[in-house]
Amino acid sequence: MTSRKKVFITGANGLLGQKLVAQLLEKETFQVFASGKGECRLPGKGFEYVSLDIIDPAAVEKTLGEISPDIIIHGAAMTNVDQCELNQEACYDANVNATAYLIKAAEKAQAHFIFVSTDFIFSGEEGPLDENAVAAPVNYYGETKLEGEQLVMACKTKWSIARTVLVFGIAHDMSRTNIILWVKSSLEAGKEIQVVDDQFRTPTLAEDLAAGCILIAEKEAEGIFNICGPDYLSAYEMANITADYFGLNKDLIKRADSSTFSQPAKRPLKTGFIITKAQKELGFEPKTFRMAIGILAKQIILARA
Ligand SMILES: NC(=O)C1=CN([C@@H]2O[C@H](COP(=O)(O)OP(=O)(O)OC[C@H]3O[C@@H](n4cnc5c(N)ncnc54)[C@H](OP(=O)(O)O)[C@@H]3O)[C@@H](O)[C@H]2O)C=CC1
Ligand SMILES: Cc1cn([C@H]2C[C@H](O)[C@@H](COP(=O)(O)OP(=O)(O)O[C@H]3O[C@@H](C)C(=O)[C@@H](O)[C@H]3O)O2)c(=O)[nH]c1=O
């Protein structure tokens, strides 16, 4: 049997990370190293968990030097956009410095470096966007992810960037919620929510993002790929589709816009990505938003069982 490729996942305890590990384990072709801050929060077995705080350069060098992976899928980041705006030093450390340390280790191992990036590197003046769009972030999180991309594009080993948008799903012991779960739980609790109708996204099921990253790894595809859902929707539309799916009270969804609803960090208005390149070159085929909600609904039921 040909030896399995060693794949090192950062952020493995997170939403994307847990899906990546689960899908990689289903294949016979990878030896999976799942890394995260502190204790392992992943269910199941079949992978090697490595506790690694990626803002520690010596720890990154030592850990990656010992493993010497063939592939690194770097999904770890400080992802709370408002916290990033309010705590910029921590955000820079996690999203830029850590990426630099991991790139150095990837170059030493000559590993294929796959960086997970975001629509928040764009201004939101127009969307959806293809891979050639010009970046102009409107919040600090977006600035750090763009700087991370620039480090990746200059690295001296095979590199890829998987850009994604508004990831949703359910995972074990999640450190943050996401739009579908938030709308569902708010409406189930009878809570009125304000939802903007002028921010447009292409929401992405976490499983599809993981599948896209794995396609990039398997095909050793280099460069930038938009990996997200196919439907271009406003947050308000997403909330109403979610309420319809779960039979919840849509009267609780109060229409707002970015002039009446604001968060500590500015959000780009129109983002979302065109995925033609990933469809053609990788065979990437994500679920529609409605199909994805159906998959999530089943997982929620299973998680309760
Ligand atoms: N979620 C979204 O809507 C989108 C996400 N992305 C990108 O996708 C990637 C994955 O996001 P997602 O899975 O949703 O985010 P999560 O927040 O669920 O996962 C990120 C993981 O990174 C870990 N992490 C943060 N800092 C460190 C550190 N210093 N050392 C080790 N691990 C660390 C977190 O650990 P812990 O759990 O302990 O906090 C967490 O498990 C990120 O790069 C993000 O920028 C892009 C577009 C949209
Ligand atoms: C909380 C909230 C959000 N929204 C809208 C704003 C936005 O369009 C959408 C999601 O807002 P949130 O603040 O929940 O999520 P947000 O922090 O905008 O999510 C971002 O996360 C980072 C990691 C990314 O990389 C981005 O792609 C994006 O997914 O919902 C409302 O309309 N009302 C609300 O009360």
- Domain presence at residue 186: no
Note the pLDDT of residue 1: 58
Ligand lying closest to the C-alpha of residue 80: 2
Residue 260 has pLDDT above 70, yes or no: yes
Q: What is the CATH number of the domain that holds 71?
A: 3.40.50.720
Whole-prediction pTM value? 0.98
269 C-beta closer than 6 A to ligand 1: no
* Gap from CA of 225 to ligand 2 centroid (Å): 22
SS3 185: helix
Task: State the Cα–Cα distance between residues 90 and 199, nearest whole angstrom.
Answer: 27
Question: Using an 8 Å Cβ cutoff, are 181 and 170 in contact?
Answer: yes
Mean pLDDT, residues 220-246: 98
Distances, alpha carbon 53 to alpha carbons 88, 94, 105, 174, 244, in Å = 18, 9, 14, 18, 41
Residue 163 lies in a domain: yes
What pLDDT does 304 receive? 86
Answer whether the bond into residue 268 is a cis peptide, omega within 30°: no
- Write down the pLDDT at residue 118: 98
Give residue 110's domain range. 5-170+203-230+273-288
* Helix runs in the chain, H state only: 15-25, 57-67, 81-86, 88-92, 98-109, 140-153, 179-188, 206-218, 235-246, 276-282, 289-304
**Residues of the chain with pLDDT > 90: what percent?**
96
| Residue 278 Cα to ligand 1 middle (Å) | 22
Q: pLDDT (tens digit, 9 = 90+) per residue, 49-106?
A: 999 999 999 999 999 999 999 999 999 999 999 999 999 999 999 999 999 999 999 9
Q: What is the pLDDT of residues 157-213, one digit of tens each?
A: 999 999 999 999 999 998 889 999 999 999 999 999 999 999 999 999 999 999 999
- Find the 223 Cα to ligand 1 centroid distance in Å: 21
Report the separation in Å between the CA atom of 251 and the middle of ligand 1, taken as the mean of its atom positions.
33
Query: To test the ligand 1 pocket, which listed residue (37, 53, 182, 228) has its Cβ within 8 A of the most ligand atoms?
Result: 37
pLDDT of residue 305: 81
Pick the atom of ligand 1 nearest to 13's CA. Answer: 41
* 94 CA → ligand 2 middle, Å: 20
On whether residue 301 sits in a domain, the answer given is no
- Ligand 2: which of 16, 81, 129, 186 to mutate, most ligand atoms within 8 Å of CB? 81
The average confidence (pLDDT) of the chain is 97
- Name 74's bridge partners: 10, 115
* Domain membership flag for residue 242: no
Helix and strand tally (H, E) in the chain? 11, 13
Total number of domains constituting the chain:
1
Is 80 exceeded by the pLDDT of residue 2? Answer: no
Check pLDDT > 80 for residue 134. Answer: yes
Q: Is 142 in the pocket of ligand 1 (CB under 6 A)?
A: no
Residue 187 placed within a domain: no
**Nearest ligand to residue 199 Cα:** 2
CB of residue 152 inside a 6 A radius of ligand 1: no
Question: How far is it, in rounded angstroms, from Cα 12 to Cα 42?
Answer: 8
Smallest CA separation from ligand 2 atom 4, residue: 195
Residue 123 Cβ inside 6 Å of ligand 1? The answer reads no
